[in-house]
Amino acid sequence: MGEWPGPKSRELEKERERYLPRGMSSTMPVFAASGAGATLTDVDGNPYIDFATGISVMNVGHSHPRVVEAITKQALRLVHSGAPVMMPEAYVRLARRLCEITPGAFAKKALLLNSGAEAIENAIKVVRQATGRPAVISFHNSFHGRTLMSMTLTGKVSPYRQNFGPWAPEIYQVPYPYEYRRPAGMSAESLGGACVEAVRQLFKTTVSADRVAGILVEPVQGEGGFVVPPPDFLPGLRKLCTEYQIPLIADEVQTGFGRTGTMFAVEHSSTEPDLIVLAKSLGGGLPLGAVVGRSELMDATNPGGLGGTFGGNPVACAAALAVIDVLLDERLPARATRLGERALARMRGWMERFPIIGEVRGVGAMIAMELVTDRASREPASARTNEVLHFCHAHGLVLLKAGLYDNVIRLLFPLVIAEQELDRGLDILEEALSSVSA
Ligand X SMILES: Cc1ncc(COP(=O)(O)O)c(C=O)c1O
Helices (H), 206-232: none
Distance set, CA 387 to CA 22, 194, 323, 421, 422 (Å): 21, 36, 35, 22, 21
User: CB neighbours of 191 closer than 8 A, spacing ≥ 6?
Assistant: 177, 179, 182, 230, 233
- Considering only residues 48, 51, 139, 143, which one is a binding residue for ligand X as defined by CB under 6 A? 143
User: What's the rounded Cα separation, in Å, for the pair 345 and 404?
Assistant: 25
Q: Which is nearer to ligand X, 316 or 356 (CB)?
A: 316
Of residues 287-316, those binding ligand X (CB under 6 A): none
Which stretch, 116-124, 241-249, 308-316, 424-432, contacts ligand X (CB under 6 A)? 116-124
Nearest Cα to 35, choosing from 21, 50, 24? 50
- Considering only residues 116, 177, 261, 425, which one is a binding residue for ligand X as defined by CB under 6 A? 116
Site size toward ligand X, by CB under 6 A: 15
Of residues 25-84, those binding ligand X (CB under 6 A): 55
Minimal distance, residue 293 CB to ligand X, in Å = 16
User: What's the rounded Cα separation, in Å, for the pair 352 and 382?
Assistant: 20
Of residues 144-183, those binding ligand X (CB under 6 A): 144-145
Determine, following the binding rule CB under 6 A, whether residue 117 of this chain makes contact with ligand X: yes
Which stretch, 10-18, 102-110, 114-122, 425-433, contacts ligand X (CB under 6 A)? 114-122
Whether the Cβ atoms of residue 70 and residue 97 lie closer than 8 Å to each other = no
Q: Which is nearer to ligand X, 39 or 56 (CB)?
A: 56
* Dihedral (CA of 191, 193, 196, 198) sign: negative
Q: Which is nearer to ligand X, 54 or 230 (CB)?
A: 54
Determine, following the binding rule CB under 6 A, whether residue 361 of this chain makes contact with ligand X: no
Q: Which is nearer to ligand X, 114 or 385 (CB)?
A: 114
Whether the Cβ atoms of residue 156 and residue 195 lie closer than 8 Å to each other = no
Task: Tell me the CA end-to-end span of the chain in Å, nearest whole number.
Answer: 23
* Dihedral (CA of 251, 253, 259, 262) sign: positive
CB burial of 373-404 (b: ≥16 within 10 Å; e: otherwise) equals beeeebebbbebbeebbbbbbbbbbbbbbbbb
Site string for ligand X, 229-268 (x = CB under 6 A): ----------------------x-xx--------------
Q: Which is nearer to ligand X, 222 or 314 (CB)?
A: 222
Minimal distance, residue 116 CB to ligand X, in Å = 2
Q: Which is nearer to ligand X, 222 or 284 (CB)?
A: 222
Q: Which is nearer to ligand X, 5 or 273 (CB)?
A: 273
Determine, following the binding rule CB under 6 A, whether residue 115 of this chain makes contact with ligand X: yes
User: CB neighbours of 270 closer than 8 A, spacing ≥ 6?
Assistant: 235
- Considering only residues 42, 218, 359, 406, which one is a binding residue for ligand X as defined by CB under 6 A? 218
Which stretch, 111-119, 166-174, 291-299, 392-400, contacts ligand X (CB under 6 A)? 111-119
Which stretch, 10-18, 73-81, 137-145, 183-191, contacts ligand X (CB under 6 A)? 137-145
What share of residues in the chain are helix, strand, coil (percent, to 5)? 40, 20, 40
Determine, following the binding rule CB under 6 A, whether residue 273 of this chain makes contact with ligand X: no
Minimal distance, residue 5 CB to ligand X, in Å = 25
Nearest Cα to 64, choosing from 271, 253, 325? 325
Q: Which is nearer to ligand X, 53 or 337 (CB)?
A: 53
Minimal distance, residue 80 CB to ligand X, in Å = 20
Coil, helix or strand for 271?
coil
Within 10 A of 75 (CB to CB), how many other CB atoms are there?
A: 12
Residues contributing to the site for ligand X (CB under 6 A):
55, 115-117, 120, 143-145, 218, 222-223, 251, 253-254, 279
